[in-house]
A and B are shown apart, each in its own frame.
Chain A
């Protein structure tokens, strides 16, 4: 019996050896068989309609980032512009509130990188779309949507990092690096020297004009970029460029489309309380499965927030009596000193309005008044009063050009408070010194130190930093 047992074991053992050798040969295959499960190989990722559509939404996803419209892009313009105060703990926020930004401010670096990441996503898709042969994809319309978003992103870079100490669209304004092709390999990531502000505008306008001219590029739901959005962006661009007549015309196009209407005075708060109101032209969607932290950053800890930022007293006192917007811009019920524009702390799904009709009125008001003729000033004043009356205020009566412009700036502060305009408006009006900034160069945010160093100074730092 013992012998049998041994023989058995020997055979078993031999079988085992054979099994082992079989495993040997299959191992090599196993090395190759390990594949990522939550990602695609970049080569061939965007070769069909479904993936191209997903790639398009991937670009919107870049806009949603907390480093961009998901919080910091707009909040910093309000914080640096004096509409918000810093009450929280982040030293990098304090730098922005104090207008003493260091070149290694990580939030600024993140914002810059995030916007360029979105641009690269757009570039990737713009390069991929022409290769799709499936007729189910409207290539022109898709390209138009992508280029509208790319134009917006380049403009957003310019607003913080470009221009001149005294505004935008001036001679010798500095721009940012224009990168229009996808980064697929390391060699595609070679640093590109910064273009001039004018060159960047040329590119932005080329993108927007392509979109506006694309025959099949229609208007879409409020949460996506359609033709009106391209016009609205362009109106804002032309305002910054001080191309007043152009800005006026584009604002008129959007206003005249009659697809948007101002909410009533009584319903003013519904612009934010209800999503995608009639006033909204382009509204970035958030939902409970795709959240932002804006309300969380505003809200007090007792209300479940982190209490990083609050509305400033200066913003509060800038309101005239009986302005319905005051209660929206500076809360007097808990949580105190916040805004009613971002309230969905539990679900994190406050939409972010990027363009709405009231801004178009204010753009046209300013563009008209700047053109200087008495008629234009009167027309501009009328536009301004549309916004004033809606806010429950009395119309302004005819005053000088300078006084109307001052009124428009003040109106923009109140109407567009918390929406990411104040810093740029002060730059456009060359009034950053009113914030106590004694160093004029601080009108431009520093290019992230990391970018300057990594590029070996090919991407030059803004003067002064």
Chain B
């Protein structure tokens, strides 16, 4: 059949050419790396369309005629090669791998550059790095792969928020997220939901199907990002999607399916143990015979007998094993005129917490057409549509994960009559109610489209113009059922919101590249860009529904909210870059961008962002050229000024806002003080780098040290509240990030049947708030923003131990003293440190106790290949950070009616004195629960992020099945995490994407452990 097919190709070919004097050329295409034959290599006659591909053993056979001059061999990941035809009929070709090649073109801002001539710091992730891993969005693909890029998945919430900091966080109130540019389109990112869930946000970049990604380039230093000017300070992620190839159409079908489960649960008290704790706590507070039945903790009649209560393991009820599936079909092909890539995928993930899930459909079409010798047209379009079933969580008494911990285990899941069990004296809802009864959906649709034209005036001078649109629209739809606490009071409550953001981008660049006399290589770029973003939203809600069956606003009897809004911004930019290389040895680059933004104050509307950089490729020097071991040695330096314009729209204007209504009359009130000098945040970035390649680049090392000094931070300069305003937006404050990045790759073994490659990266970042306008301030639950400290520092009291006797309390600094011993410090309470030594424990006795951002982090990948098997093991790690467990602050608080963790069994009692857990006392008069190092834990972890084993079927099977490649794989994501952290997951941020309060855990949806099986088929 294969032969028949080939013959068919040949026949067709003959039919097209229809010229006499034919002959057949045969040969084998092998890889220069390992000498093995490469199947699927595209072989065609130079200047002709069509062509064939090599068979599974790398062989080809092609008929040529007398006009044919040469054969072209091309294959992904290898450098294309053209061989001139001679008299011989056998042409064997050895293709050179492109992956490590210094002549390889890499994508940079507004263009491409030869890897060897880069002067900036930039890392990259290719599609092969992330294949076989069930990642849900582009950001996850960056995690642990590139030095200096810290990716924090805030929670396991399907479709939930994810934070990326490149070389540390520099902004306090603006955004610290990088600029994402997809196929040249700077896209809208962040969360678009208008309905809060307690902590977790949504991630609009989840609309990008990871399987469409060809590569991601991460621009880190000013040399690389200054071309993006006022948006370059947080780094830039350039995402390039798969484009068509000059090959016969190849159809790929990729499917994976698997299950997800929670890796860990936390033991809680049983129902009877909980009641016993409550009896102890109430008695400690009210004395006498007071116990859980006491009316002072809430009305109604309750038994205080522990044996009257059941035990409900809420975690067993809310966590489930959930399926995850992804289907993708793609086709890539084309000829020398027109190339295309189309793909379509469907992703379906149920959450490991009941009631949650995420589905995404996406499609893409990328087209390239060489209209004339000089004019090339490109089109990149993608559409995606997703549905997110959300849940309340984190800081939310109606949450599912939160309810599972905050509601005591003494409450039955269901009452005898089938209604949800509840605790009459607790405000926490049954965690099953919200998950089962509510509607909480977030729909998003996104169209990314860009059309471009490239015109070569001369081989050196190219003009490129691209017009793009990023159209994002989302819809929130919620209904709080009358069967839940949140909906029962209002007779059902529905909220529907819709918003859209449309970005128009118009980019024009002129590029001149020429090598003079083989010595002076010049690459010049000048460009103009205009971008406008328009956001609109509408939100309406109603209460009072006729039951829970009709959930649309039209059925609500009380219309409570009807609001809409709109905002916009525009950015006008001029930019240029000049790159000069002398003999490929000495490379200089200068770039600059002038940005005018509607966001800036009228006096500071335009900002200029320059960068200069240089590199010395010492390996090209005569004194190193003969050192065989050193294949590449380059040192780099760059310095530049980049900005952050993510300061919000119209923050510079003095405003009077509507909506301050009264008596159904319209009301107006001042809302914002103006600042005509308001402008971008400014970052001066210095980078020194070293690239070393040894043994024909079998071992490569990249080292960068950097320093980023950010000034003019956008901060609400505090005003006295008695002025009527609390802040005025100003450019104040300074931060600094310093760091070291090391990336090491190596081919450890490279034998015919066995190869082992490894990739290790580590980055260290030290963040410091250098200057802060006004007072230090608290953020989150335990975070603290203060000059001299790291952004994301924790502040609180220090625990010395537990008071064992009244005498010890009397001899210690005063904590809580009232007229009654029942509301005063007692044995079993925590002894806090009197840090200022004034004999009283008060707010002055707090200090910085840790930080939520890691000191070091990175990843370690090992790929093994044995015959047809591939094994990839990817480890991710971070350390030096702490986690503030607000979960424990509640779960070990023993001060209220909340469910308690099993750790409280070790609470202090007169007979259990050797413990670190204080006594149980209702209302906690000593405030044992205050923010202290008691709830602070080390956040270091090493995670086996992914292990995947794949098998590539050999020629026998392929021939039998008549396909060109089959790969089967099994993969485990988040397989195991080594950590001392006691909570569900050490990679956590209850505040989703946050600058000031990272590393806080409060009843956050944990990440799942995922096992998937996949099949990749190529026809």
Residue of A nearest to B558 (CB): A288
Contact across chains for B489 and A303 when beta carbons are under 8 A apart = yes
Answer yes or no: A268 CB below 8 A from chain B CBs. Answer: no
Asked if A61 and B661 make an inter-chain contact with CB atoms under 8 angstroms apart, the answer reads yes
Chain B residues within an 8 Å CB radius of A36: 567, 649-650, 653, 655
**A201 lies within 8 A of chain B by Cβ:** no
Interface hits, A86-115 → B, CB 8 Å: 87-89, 91, 94, 98, 100, 102-104, 109, 112-113
- Let me know if A455 is at the binding interface, CB within 8 A: yes
Residues on B with beta carbons closer than 8 Å to the beta carbon of A189: 673, 719-720, 723-725, 728
Neighbour of B530 across the interface among A27, A345, A454, CB < 8 A? A27
Neighbour of A459 across the interface among B560, B657, B664, B720, CB < 8 A: B720
Interface hits, A298-351 → B, CB 8 Å: 299-308, 310, 313, 336-337, 345-348
Interface residue tally for chain A (C-beta within 8 Å): 109
A438 in the interface (beta carbon within 8 A) = yes
List CB contacts (< 8 Å) of B661-683 with chain A: 661-675
B893 CB, nearest partner CB in chain A, Å: 10
Q: Tell me if B605 is interfacial: C-beta within 8 Å of chain A.
A: yes
Let me know if A45 is at the binding interface, CB within 8 A.
yes
The answer on a CB contact under 8 Å between B819 and A438 is yes
If the complex has contacts A9-B371, A301-B429, A304-B485, are A39 and B558 also in contact, measured as CB distance less than 8 A?
no
Q: A5, A42, A58, A116: which contacts B722 (Cβ < 8 A)?
A: A116
**Chain B minimum-CB-distance residue to A459:** B720
Q: Kindly state the separation between the CA atoms of A415 and B909 in the bound complex, as whole angstroms.
A: 45
Q: Contact between B673 and A186 (Cβ–Cβ < 8 Å)?
A: yes
Q: Mark B776-816, 1 if CB is under 8 A from A, else 0.
A: 01100000000000000000000000000000000000001
Determine if B566 is an interface residue (Cβ-Cβ < 8 Å). Answer: yes
If the complex has contacts A290-B662, A455-B720, are A121 and B670 also in contact, measured as CB distance less than 8 A? yes
Indicate if B426 sits at the interface (CB-CB under 8 A). yes
Map CB proximity to B onto A218-245 as digits: 1 under 8 Å, 0 otherwise: 0000011000000000000000000000
Query: Which stretch from B98-106, B144-152, B292-300, B987-995 is at the chain A interface?
Result: B292-300
B458 CB to closest chain A CB (Å) equals: 15
1/0 contact trace for A57-88 toward B, CB 8 Å?
Answer: 11111101000000000000000000001011
Chain B stretch 332-379: residues in CB contact (< 8 A) with chain A: 371-372, 375
- Among the stretches A164-172, A175-183, A361-369, A391-399, the one at the interface with B is A175-183
Q: How far is the CB of B294 from chain A (nearest CB, A)?
A: 10
**How does the 8 Å CB contact mask read for B524-547 relative to A, with 1 for contact and 0 for none?**
000010101000000000011000
Q: Does A257 contact B (CB under 8 A)?
A: no
Question: When the two chains form their complex, are residues A289 and B427 in contact, meaning their CB atoms are under 8 A apart?
Answer: no
Is A43 at the interface (CB under 8 A from chain B)? yes
CB <8 Å contact, B489 and A345 = yes
| Contact across chains for B299 and A42 when beta carbons are under 8 A apart | no
The interface residues of chain A lying within 8 Å CB-to-CB of B820 are 436
Q: A179 near B427 (CB under 8 angstroms)?
A: no
Q: In whole angstroms, how far apart are the Cα atoms of A16 and B668 in the complex?
A: 47
The answer on a CB contact under 8 Å between A448 and B485 is: no
Q: Which residues of A lie under 8 Å from residue B951 when comparing CB positions? A: none
A303 to B300, CA, bound (A): 14
Which among A47-55, A130-138, A209-217, A376-384 touches the partner chain? A47-55
With a cutoff of 8 Å between Cβ atoms, the chain B residues found around residue A224 in the complex are: 663
B488 and A120 form a contact (CB under 8 A): no
| Complex contact A85–B296 (CB within 8 A) | yes
Is there an interface contact between B668 and A55, defined as CB atoms closer than 8 Å? yes
Name the contact of B559 in the complex, choosing from A16, A184, A289, A299 (C-beta under 8 A): A289
Q: Is there an interface contact between B670 and A42, defined as CB atoms closer than 8 Å?
A: yes
A34-B569, A42-B674, A60-B663 as given contacts; A346 in contact with B530, CB under 8 Å: no
Chain B CB within 10 Å — which of A36, A60, A109, A291 has the most?
Answer: A36
A179 x B723 contact (CB < 8 A): yes
Q: Is there a chain B Cβ closer than 8 Å to A13's Cβ?
A: yes
Chain A residues positioned under 8 Å from B490 (CB to CB): 304, 345-348
How does the 8 Å CB contact mask read for A23-43 relative to B, with 1 for contact and 0 for none?
110011011111111111111
- Least distance between B228 CB and chain A CB atoms (Å): 18
How many angstroms from the CA of A51 to the CA of B670 in the assembled complex? 12
The listed residue (A23, A28, A34, A120) touching B649 by CB distance below 8 A is A34
Asked whether A359 is an interface residue with its Cβ less than 8 Å from the other chain, the reply is no
CB-based contact A287/B664 at 8 Å: yes
CA distance A302 to B424 in the complex (A): 7
Q: Which of A121, A308, A346, A448 contacts B491 (CB 8 A)?
A: A346
Asked whether A173 is an interface residue with its Cβ less than 8 Å from the other chain, the reply is: no
CA distance A123 to B654 in the complex (A): 17
Chain B residues, Cβ within 8 Å of A346 = 489-491, 543-544, 558
Q: How many A-B residue pairs have CB under 8 A?
A: 307
Please tell me if the beta carbons of A6 and B372 are within 8 angstroms of each other in the complex: yes
Interface string of B415-437 (1 = CB under 8 A from A): 00000001011111100000000
The reply on B658 being an interface residue by CB < 8 A is yes
Residues of B within 8 A of A425 (CB): none
**B668 to chain A: which residues have CB within 8 Å?**
40, 45-46, 51, 54-55, 57-58
The CA of A94 and the CA of B659, in the complex, are separated in Å by 33
Select which of B487, B559, B669, B929 is within 8 A of A61 by beta carbon. B669
Candidates A30, A100, A123; contact of B532 at CB < 8 Å: A30
Q: Nearest chain A CB to B378's CB is how many angstroms away?
A: 15
Q: Kindly state the separation between the CA atoms of A304 and B717 in the bound complex, as whole angstroms.
A: 39
Residues on A with beta carbons closer than 8 Å to the beta carbon of B663? 57, 60, 223-224, 285
How many Å lie between the Cα of A188 and that of B297 in the bound state?
48
- List chain B residues, Cβ under 8 A from A31: 570, 572, 596-598, 605
Q: Does B721 lie within 8 Å of A123, measured CB to CB?
A: no
Alpha-carbon separation in the docked complex, A345 to B482 (Å): 13
User: In the bound complex, do residue B669 and residue A62 qualify as a contact, i.e. CB atoms below 8 Å apart?
Assistant: yes
B655 near A42 with CB under 8 A, answer yes
A248 within 8 A of B: no
Whether the Cβ atoms of B371 and A87 lie closer than 8 Å is no
Contact B724 A183 (CB under 8 A): yes
- Minimum C-beta distance from A259 to chain B (A): 19
Please name all residues of chain B whose beta carbon is closer than 8 Å to the beta carbon of A30 when the two chains form the complex: 530, 532, 570, 572, 598
Q: Do the beta carbons of A436 and B819 come within 8 Å of each other?
A: yes
Report how far A103 CA is from B843 CA in the complex, Å. 9
Q: Which of B489, B659, B672 contacts A305 (CB 8 A)?
A: B489
How far does the alpha carbon of A295 sit from the alpha carbon of B488 in the complex, in Å? 13
Q: Are A454 and B923 in contact (CB under 8 A)?
A: no
Chain A residues within an 8 Å CB radius of B568: 34, 37
Say whether A120 contacts B658, CB under 8 Å.
no
Given the complex of chains A and B, what is the CA–CA distance between A123 and B896 in angstroms? 44
| Residues of A close to B706: CB separation below 8 A | none
B597-610 vs A, Cβ < 8 Å mask (1 yes, 0 no): 11000000100000
A224 to chain B, nearest CB (A): 7
Residue pair A288, B560 in contact (C-beta under 8 Å):
yes
A58→B720 CA distance, assembly (Å)? 21
Q: Which residue of A lies closest to B532 (CB)?
A: A30
The chain B residue with its CB closest to the CB of A53 is B665
Q: Is the CB of A54 within 8 A of B567?
A: no
> Cβ of B397 < 8 Å from any Cβ of A?
yes
Contact flags (1/0) for B541-583 with A, using CB distance below 8 Å? 0011000000000000011111001111110100000000000
CB of B465 within 8 Å of the partner chain = yes
**Inside 8 A of A436's CB, which chain B residues have their CB?**
818-820, 823
* A192 proximal to B (CB < 8 A): yes
Known: A34-B569, A301-B426, A436-B819. A450 touches B673 (CB 8 A): no
Most central of A13, A20, A120, A301 by chain B CB within 10 Å: A301
20 additional A-B pairs beyond A9-B371, A36-B649, beta carbons within 8 Å, are A30-B598, A33-B570, A38-B659, A40-B657, A40-B668, A54-B658, A57-B662, A58-B667, A87-B298, A123-B724, A183-B724, A224-B663, A289-B559, A295-B489, A300-B424, A301-B485, A305-B489, A307-B425, A346-B558, A454-B719
A-B contact pairs, 12 of them (CB 8 A): A31-B572, A34-B649, A100-B816, A104-B843, A120-B725, A121-B660, A183-B670, A190-B723, A302-B488, A307-B425, A308-B427, A453-B774
The 5 A-B pairs of least Cβ separation, nearest first, read A304-B489, A120-B724, A336-B299, A189-B723, A42-B654
